[in-house]
Every structure is written in structure tokens, then in C-alpha cells.
Structure 1
Amino acid sequence: MSRISADECEWTDMEWYGVDRQGHVAVFCSGGSGNLPEFVCEDAERAETLIRYFEKAPIMTSSVLRIPAIDATEQAARNFSERGLYYFDADDGTGCGAAVYQTYYTKHAVPQKPLNYEMLPEHIQEMLRHNSLDLQDFSLAETVYIDHAYKS
């Protein structure tokens, strides 16, 4: 098990996954500047396996965009939310076409039918057991604040 280093956190646009108390799954895109939690940094292989799994997951629902359409961001938001994932990005969408990265994550897209943790294969559930967030329900959160693994 290898760690994601502090340097990698600063320049890698990392996708990572979290689970709320309702069992819903969200993807968070850091843009190379969003905070990465300890449970992501502690195991690079687990993080990469989850990325590969969700990138290949089947489309299962439609999505609702929560931000103005911006080409690449809109496509990424749709790709993930159509797989049942809530989509949060470190770019808060306020930059009129230019990325404005924050240390918090802003909800950009919502799935019509959210994916639940219990619907996932057992080996993915096992990996996501480490990725629980202290958040009641992604559907009610517009922003999510995350403590960075390397910054206090």
C-alpha cells in the first residue's frame, strides 16, 4: 500500500469518492488544488481501483446540472452523475469560463436516481468502507468542506 504524497496532491487532478450516511456515493474532483482527505491519501492503489471501477460503471440514470454549462466540466459532471453519483468539484463555477478552485467542493450535478453503496459489488463496498464522510445526505449539501491530509 503506497501513499499519495503531499507533492502529488498539489498537481494531480484527483477523482476521489465518498459515501454519506444515506449510503449515497459522490465523486469529488480536486483539480490539483482541492483538499484530499486522509482516507484517499493513505492508499493510492485503493484510490486508483475506485477510479477505474466508476469510470467503467454503466449509465443508469439521467442527471441534473447545478452550474452553468462549461464544456469540459459539464461533460465530466454528466458522465459521473449519469452513473448515479453526486458530482462535486473544487472549481466552484464562479469564474465565467475560467476555473476558480477552492479548498471546498461545490455540487455541480445530481443524479435523478442516486447510486447506493449497497448496490455495488462487494469488493467495491469493502474499499468504500474507508471513505465515509460525516455528512447526512449529499442531496442536501451544496458544498462539502474536507480537511486536507497534509495541511492543518
Structure 2
Amino acid sequence: MDKDLQKDAIKEFANKTELERTIAVGIHGPPELKAEEKNHHLGEFRERILIALTKAQVMNNKIYPEIEETLNDRRAAKMLINGDIAYKYRGKYQKLAAQKGKSYTVVHDPNLEGNIGLIIVSDRAVDKENIFVTD
């Protein structure tokens, strides 16, 4: 159903005149693929996520060994951390990413939804079925 809505929105946008498209982009910004999905995954496509922690897991005192292992994976491009999490909890993961030579970004976006606290993503689709670390 969601794919049909996206197709309809794309067709509707394409059928507008150049002036209407320019005005729409100026007011609402450019059309974005899978915006709802990206709002649930710290701005990334679900299929690029190698591993994820919830906000509560990030706020745990320990560093999950699965995160360290994934940072060693050659497919790991960067780490994204939810900006709602205080530095005293996320700092340990930022330092770990820096030690492993991986970039990290703290995502501050009021449109974010869900409970994801940290993800490690690839620059290509990996389509892992289960991305969450279990306690």
C-alpha cells in the first residue's frame, strides 16, 4: 500500500508544470524517497543497517561487543547516534568509532520516530533480516 502511495505521489509530481514543481520544491523541499522509513532509522534506509541498538541499550553502562565487531566489518561505513541521548551515554560509542577509524554522526532531527539509539550502516544495501542486538 505504501509503495502505491509513493508511486502516485511521484506521478502527481511529474505531471506538474515546471513552475509548479519549482514552487513545490521551494515550499516543501525536494521529494524524498522512503521518508517515513528514514525517520524510523536515523535518516538512513533500513536495508543499509548492519546493526542497531535501542536508546535504552545505548544508555547502558557497557559497550556491546556486537558494536565493536560490526565496526571491524569492512562493510561498516559510519555510525549514527540519536541526538536525544546525552553525551555521557553516547560518548563511549563515539570514542569507539574514532578508535576504529569510522566516522560517526549525532543525529538531531525532530522528525525522528521510534526507539533506535544507534546504528552502524553500510554505503550499500546489506538487507540484514535482524538488525537489533538482543540483551
Q: TM-score, normalised by structure 1?
A: 0.26
More contact order relative to length (CA 8 Å, sep ≥ 6): 2
Rg larger for: 2
Q: TM-score, normalised by structure 2?
A: 0.28
The structure with the largest strand share of the pair is 1
The structure with the largest helix share of the pair is 2
